Amino acid sequence: MDATVPGGQFPAGLGTLLGAELSWVGEDIIGAIAAEVPAYARPLEGRFGQGVRAGVTEALRRFLVIVDGDPADPADVAASRDVYVRLGHGEFHAGRSLDNLLAAYRIGTRVAWRRFADVARLRGGLDAAGLVTLGETLFGYIDGVCAASAEGYALAQSADAGARERLWERVGELLLSGADPADVEEIAQAGSLRIPGRLAAVLVPSRADGRHRLGLPTGCPNTTHGSDLWLFVNGDDVGGSRLAGQLAGRSAVVGPAVGWTRAAASAERVRFAREARDDGLLPADPGGAPLFTDDHLATLLLTRDPALLADLTRRRLAPLAALPERTRQRLAATLLHWLALRGQRGLVARRLHVHPQTVRYRVLQLRDLFGDALDDPDARFELELVLRAGADAVVDDDGEHTGDGARLRPRADPGASPGASEA
């Protein structure tokens, strides 16, 4: 826009000569734009038409002032530039791509150049070198026009994104608090926000480095609660590699996908899972990998009522209570593996890194302690529940602490098939 050439490069009066063509050139440009840019094919009427015509007229007039080399522009440069900033702004709010406007500028420049070049050569006496300079001036000038409109478009886009983000934050606050779905819908509709049918709550703990939101999902309900960030992501994304990648290294907790009106229930599951992880009942990945609550439903269920679990633990593990701690831990580990692997002594031995005869000896001890309970389906079920819930810490024979039952996960041996008990 601000590119000018020193006065005297063009013959005196060339600007006036070309100015006589303005009305014809302007109409030719309007016709070419309507014919070649589908988005502008409708009649150029109303505010839209006025804006396009004003833009074309101002562009041609400003260019001719540059041709005359007159720095005393009758149309203030800043005001002239503002015309194109506003056009870019209007294109965004009209829902059109900036490409349409830039294409219109290119078409207008082509049409103007053909007409101006003919007049300058045939009636203005401009030689080949002068025509080259005239063309360079025109195309350099239109680059400034394009830049001004691109800036206007970007400013409008940024302002709109900021307003939408504030609305997403308000929606996030309401979802986290369990507000009336009608209130949530009202805000979403007012801001033309589309809430997915299913949402999953995601808790991202605070970061000391302040890079709280970098790389996280955007364009979704979100809110900050204390030092933690809550997101409500599309339920279809839960379990996908993209979401896991976005949350990597953040120690995030991801709740279940639920109907969006029940988003608060997903958040409640997340809160409980976080507490369970902090208490050591759920695994905390050293690298900060996200914890998906759907992968730990059994453990969450078992630890939901600590008092109830404690009562069941005291009742079912009472036979171990009088034993020395190390013995109690070893027998508890053996019992959990023996129950989970249906008495397959060889598999239990491999899990505990002991000899099968050691397993046999321990099972005999357990039978002496628990008696008929080891043959009772209900008792066996409850024993496995309390052991899996981490009711009694266990160690293996190498002295390695395996933590609570939540971390003690007997694995199926790929090469083994279920068989009869060996004990």
What average pLDDT does the structure give for the chain? 82
Biggest CA-to-CA distance, the chain:
118
Assess contact for 140 and 8: CB atoms under 8 A.
no
The beta-strand segments (E) located in 235-273 are: 253-259
Range with the lowest mean pLDDT among 219-233, 337-351, 388-402? 388-402
Residue 416 has pLDDT above 60, yes or no: no
The alpha carbon torsion through 191, 196, 198, 203 (nearest 10 deg) reads -60
Residue 273 has pLDDT above 70, yes or no: yes
Q: What is the pLDDT of residue 235?
A: 95
Read off the pTM. 0.57
3-state secondary structure of 417: coil
Q: If we measure between CA atoms, which residue out of 26, 42, 23 comes closest to residue 34?
A: 42
Selected residue with higher pLDDT from 301 and 4: 301
Strands of the 198-204 sheet, one edge to the other: 222-225, 228-234, 198-204, 253-259, 291-292
The mean per-residue pLDDT over the stretch 109-120 comes to 85
Q: What is the pLDDT of residue 288?
A: 93
Q: What is the pLDDT of residue 400?
A: 43
Residue 130 has pLDDT above 70, yes or no: yes
Q: How confident is the model at residue 383 (pLDDT cuts 50, 70, 90)?
A: very high
Residue 384 has pLDDT above 60, yes or no: yes
Q: What is the pLDDT of residue 116?
A: 84
What span, in angstroms and rounded, lies between the C-alpha atoms of 81 and 75?
Answer: 10
